[in-house]
């Protein structure tokens, strides 16, 4: 079983690679999805102020276009997930809006990231059937973040200003962090 220790973090170059398409939804794919859920919940159990919202397979070092997303972002007791195989954004609407984002693969750094407020996603489910998801608000943001992972893109790549990086305090509040520190941590692919 994958655990929080299976999660890879920047500057691991694997996170910048494009994942492969799932050709057939087999038991191996379902096992990988279960591993991803376990790793996410195990990570959450180690954090006081954060919810393990979602994970892409590359984050446990499998270059597979597979994403798991928590069904309920409000209730930690709900440990169920939605699985999306080969997910693609097929439609966006509205103008991108800025909000804070974090990532299990970016240690301790948060960023202000623009995302479309509403998206339509096409994917396969665990039975190999095609599905569509219409999402807005936080779920739309999460899906754009996760689909980026399948293409080797991280939220830090979307931060548009040197003032757009933050740390999480012990009390759960975000505090600005110096751009130079972010750069030194090897989190950015290239400087801003
Ligand atoms: Zn992430």
How many whole angstroms from 145 Cα to the centroid of ligand 1? 6
Active-site residue, 146 included: yes
pLDDT value for 104: 97
Q: For 152-172, how does the pLDDT look when each residue is reduced to its tens digit (9 = 90+)?
A: 999 999 999 999 999 988 888
How many whole angstroms from 151 Cα to the centroid of ligand 1? 12
How many whole angstroms from 102 Cα to the centroid of ligand 1? 7
Read out DSSP for the chain? ---GGG---TT-GGGGSPPBPPSS--HHHHHHHHHHHHHHHHHHHT-SS----EEEGGGGT--BSEEEEES-SS-TT---EEEEEEEEEEEEES--EEEEEEETTEEEEEEEEEE-SEEEEEEE-TTS-EEEEEEEHHHHHHHHHHHHHHTT--GGGG--STT-EEEE-TTS-EEE--HHHHHHTT--SS--
**Whole-model pTM?**
0.96
Residues belonging to the chain: 192
How many whole angstroms from 9 Cα to the centroid of ligand 1? 10
pLDDT value for 49: 84
What's the 3-state SS for 56-107?
EHHHHCCCECEEEEECCCCCCCCCCEEEEEEEEEEEEECCCEEEEEEECCEE
Catalytic residue among 37, 50, 146, 180: 146
The whole-chain average pLDDT of the chain stands at: 95
Q: What pLDDT band is residue 113 in, cutting at 50, 70 and 90?
A: very high
């Amino acid at each position: 079983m994958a655990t929080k220790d299976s999660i890879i973090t920047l500057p691991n170059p694997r996170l910048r690679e494009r994942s492969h398409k799932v050709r057939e939804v087999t038991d191996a794919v379902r096992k990988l999805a279960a591993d991803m859920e376990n790793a996410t919940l195990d990570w959450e159990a180690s954090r006081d102020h954060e919810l393990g919202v979602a994970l892409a397979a590359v984050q446990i070092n499998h270059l597979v276009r597979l994403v798991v997303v928590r069904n309920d972002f409000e209730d930690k007791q709900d440990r169920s997930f939605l699985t999306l195989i080969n997910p693609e954004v097929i439609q966006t609407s509205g103008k991108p809006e800025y909000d804070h984002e974090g990532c299990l693969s970016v240690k301790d750094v948060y960023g202000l990231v623009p995302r479309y407020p509403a998206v339509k996603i096409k994917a396969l489910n665990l039975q190999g059937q095609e599905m569509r998801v219409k999402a807005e608000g936080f779920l739309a943001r999460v899906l754009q973040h996760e689909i980026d992972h399948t293409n080797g893109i991280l939220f830090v790549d979307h931060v548009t200003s040197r003032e757009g990086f933050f740390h999480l305090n012990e009390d759960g509040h975000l505090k600005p962090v110096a751009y130079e520190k972010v750069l030194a941590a090897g989190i950015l692919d290239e400087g801003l």
